[in-house]
Amino acid sequence: MKALPPVRILSACDRCEVRRKSICNAVKPVLQKEISRISRVRTFEAGNTILAEAEDSVFLGIVMSGILRVQRTMADGRQQIVGLLLPADFFGRVFERTSGVAVEAATDVTLCCFERHAFERLLSRSPELEHQMFLAVLRELDAARDWMLLLGSQTIPERVASFFLILHRRTTVIEPDMPSRKRRLSVHVPISRHDMAAYLGTTVETISRVIQDMSRRGIIEIHSPQHFGILDEKRLVRCSGREELSIGHRCLADEPHMAVG
Amino acid sequence: MKALPPVRILSACDRCEVRRKSICNAVKPVLQKEISRISRVRTFEAGNTILAEAEDSVFLGIVMSGILRVQRTMADGRQQIVGLLLPADFFGRVFERTSGVAVEAATDVTLCCFERHAFERLLSRSPELEHQMFLAVLRELDAARDWMLLLGSQTIPERVASFFLILHRRTTVIEPDMPSRKRRLSVHVPISRHDMAAYLGTTVETISRVIQDMSRRGIIEIHSPQHFGILDEKRLVRCSGREELSIGHRCLADEPHMAVG
DNA sequence: CGGGCGTTTGAAGGATGTCAATGATAGTGG
DNA sequence: CCACTATCATTGACATCCTTCAAACGCCCG
């Protein structure tokens, strides 16, 4: 008679929604267990600061739900969002005391957190984990470069159109169970106009004008300030000034990415 | 009687000027030898393309002398330089067939090249080398984020002032043997106005106007189109809109960095 | 000397930021 | 349930920064 399989204790990780998309999925089970052991789930309300710009960052982790903004602030108060982190993305800066960027909750968020030093010890013991982190940072760098093109060479209407298209593709990846017809036509902007402006390097007023204008021209329709329909995708792509295929490149659309925050 | 030390054959690496600043310096001698074995020195004239945007990148390597520009081009021809690579910097994208960015010689350059697959094999066999690459990419990402702040939130005069200050600090690191007095006061811009414009996200005309204006106001003096003196560093810093200490951050000024090109 | 390239300078128009006011929405307390 | 407030989004008028187009200038090299 065969022995019964050992009783399996469900850890928090077994119920983790983003596990299969995050860095956890890319490493061996034994390592997953070690990660699990040093992890702790925390929640923050929208607007809270997770890691401040100057302050020592004592922890890092993975976004489970909600959205983080990674941003830098200038002496006179101007802010630039240098990255948005969606579920499954990694936040925090390994191998550095302070990150030089702030990480804040753009919406209510649930995070899977690790104490930085414990995670770094794990990294130095596991080349496999470090390799996965390396790949994630490489993709993140690709995305950052893509965004530099957007900020340096595109007009504001082009930036808004690009942003919509990237969000649309990214949402398609994140929520593949949504009816495809609805997915095809709708864009949900999960952040405020203020954050959108800080991300696109412009102001809320200009954003608003551009969106209203695209709506008047029949390219999109406005369901609510955060929900839009795409009426003419071809034209939206043309507005973005990009080739369809290069939108979001490897990174923003296809893969979870990582922030040095 | 003690045996004589073994005769030491000088490889190209032993004479390498940038070795102690590059990734080679950070790995063990035995690994350096392996790297040396797969390396090959190549030269390119200014304007030549090292890696094209769409094309498979078959090699990567380290800048020995000269300057590379890492850039993306839009469908209509607009170009954005997303990184400048100085001696000791790494170029090329590991673990990806194509990089999505072009790497071109901004000046005549000498490169230490590796065939990509051979280098990747070395990487997968050596966690130590991969760790060093990882650190370099993290620094590069920090620099990219810094540049996103510049492109997204700073005015053109601020960008020019920031660029001068970064160049000044970087030059100080690169050429520490120059008399300190001369170093303190001079900035050498090693690239054309056209490249400067593509890097700062503006046009040659605007760059020219801003520089002439800074000269008229007594902040800098123009020795030649590529050589400048800093007359009033305090004011130049104020023009840049940044805190002195954060200019160039960790990355652009203090450490060789790495491009995904 | 002349052609070509890179840089500078000038004039004019357009895109975007700024300031101010209005409109919409949600949460709060009476 | 309804004002009331606070916050966010939109709209308008205006100023300005920056790009664009054009031309002149300087310089290197054939």
- Sorted by sequence, the CB contacts under 8 Å of residue B238 that are 6+ apart come out as none
pLDDT for res B248: 47
Residue B111 CB neighbour total at 10 angstroms: 26
CB A208 within 8 A of CB A193: yes
Closest Cβ opposite residue B144 in set A124, A148, A249 = A148
B146 inside 8 A of chain A by CB? yes
Nucleotides of D under 7 A from a protein CB: 8-13, 17-22
Name the minimum distance, in Å, from the CA of A62 to any CA of chain B: 17
Percent of the residues in chain B that have a pLDDT greater than 70, as a whole number: 84
B95 inside 8 A of chain A by CB? yes
Residue B84: strand, helix, or coil: strand
Q: pLDDT for A15-73, tens place per residue?
A: 899 999 999 988 899 988 999 999 999 999 999 999 999 999 899 999 999 999 999 99
- Residue B110: pLDDT over 70: yes
- Residue B246 gets which letter from DSSP? G
CA of A190 to C1' of D12 (A): 28
pLDDT for res A197: 98
CB contact under 8 A, B100 and A137: no
A130 inside 8 A of chain B by CB? yes
CB B106 within 8 A of CB B84: yes
* Strands annotated E in B120-206: 186-188
Residue ranges of A 42-71 with Cβ closer than 8 A to chain B:
70
* Strands annotated E in A116-239: 186-188, 220-224, 227-230
- Pairing verdict, β A90-91 and A59-65: antiparallel
Quick one: which of A66, A36, A74 has its CA closest to A50?
A: A66
Nucleotides of C under 7 A from a protein CB: 6-11, 15-20
A101 inside 8 A of chain B by CB? yes
pLDDT for res B252: 41
- Sorted by sequence, the CB contacts under 8 Å of residue B14 that are 6+ apart come out as none
Residue ranges of B 221-250 with Cβ closer than 8 A to chain A:
241-243, 246, 249-250
pLDDT for res B141: 98
CB contact under 8 A, B241 and A76: yes
CA of A219 to C1' of C25 (A): 26
Q: pLDDT for A187-198, tens place per residue?
A: 999 999 999 999
CB contact under 8 A, A78 and B153: yes
CB B145 within 8 A of CB B250: no
Task: Give residue numbers, 224 to 243 of B, with CB < 7 Å from strand C.
Answer: 225-226
CB contact under 8 A, A134 and B135: no
pLDDT for res A94: 97
CB A162 within 8 A of CB A239: no
Lowest mean pLDDT of A212-226, B173-187, B209-223, name the range. Answer: B173-187
- Sorted by sequence, the CB contacts under 8 Å of residue A191 that are 6+ apart come out as A67, A69, A84, A106, A107, A199
Q: CA B70, CA A31: separation in Å to the nearest integer? A: 37
Tokens for B178?
């120059």
pLDDT for res B249: 43
Tokens for B213?
């204006």
CA of B46 to C1' of C5 (A): 15
Taken in order of first residue, the domains within chain A and their CATH numbers are 12-142 (2.60.120.10), 155-240 (1.10.10.10)
CB B158 within 8 A of CB B213: no
* CA end-to-end span of chain A: 54
Q: pLDDT for A125-170, tens place per residue?
A: 999 999 999 999 999 999 999 999 999 999 999 999 999 999 999 8
Task: Give residue numbers, 203 to 242 of B, with CB < 7 Å from strand D.
Answer: 203, 205-206, 209
Is the Cβ atom of B42 within 7 Å of strand D at any atom? no
Percent of the residues in chain A that have a pLDDT greater than 90, as a whole number: 74
CA of B206 to C1' of C4 (A): 23
CB A122 within 8 A of CB A34: yes
Residue B165 CB neighbour total at 10 angstroms: 22
Quick one: which of A191, A35, A22 has its CA closest to A104?
A: A191
- Chain B partners within 8 Å of A78 (Cβ): 153
CB B134 within 8 A of CB A128: no
Higher per-residue confidence, A89 vs A99: A89
The CA-atom distances, in angstroms, between B102 and each of A16, A31, A104, A126 are 39, 38, 34, 33
Q: What is the mean predicted confidence (pLDDT) over A202-222?
A: 98
CB contact under 8 A, B95 and A138: yes
Higher per-residue confidence, A173 vs A229: A229
Q: CA A87, CA A149: separation in Å to the nearest integer? A: 25
Residue A114 CB neighbour total at 10 angstroms: 20
pLDDT for res B15: 87
CB B63 within 8 A of CB B17: no
For residue B26, name the pLDDT band (cuts at 50, 70, 90).
confident
CA of A106 to C1' of D3 (A): 31
Helix boundaries (H) for B28-74 = 29-38
Q: CA A93, CA A121: separation in Å to the nearest integer? A: 14
- Chain B partners within 8 Å of A140 (Cβ): 141
Q: pLDDT for B141-154, tens place per residue?
A: 999 999 999 999 99
Tokens for A77?
């108060």
pLDDT for res B243: 81
For residue A101, name the pLDDT band (cuts at 50, 70, 90).
very high
Sign of CA dihedral A109, A114, A117, A121: negative
pLDDT for res A212: 98
Q: Which residues pair with A224 in a beta bridge?
A: A227
For the sheet containing B227-230, what is the strand order? Answer: B186-188, B227-230, B220-224
pLDDT for res B130: 97
Q: pLDDT for B207-255, tens place per residue?
A: 999 999 999 999 999 999 999 999 999 999 999 999 864 554 443 434 4
Residue B1: strand, helix, or coil: coil
- Chain B partners within 8 Å of A242 (Cβ): 74-75
A131 inside 8 A of chain B by CB? yes
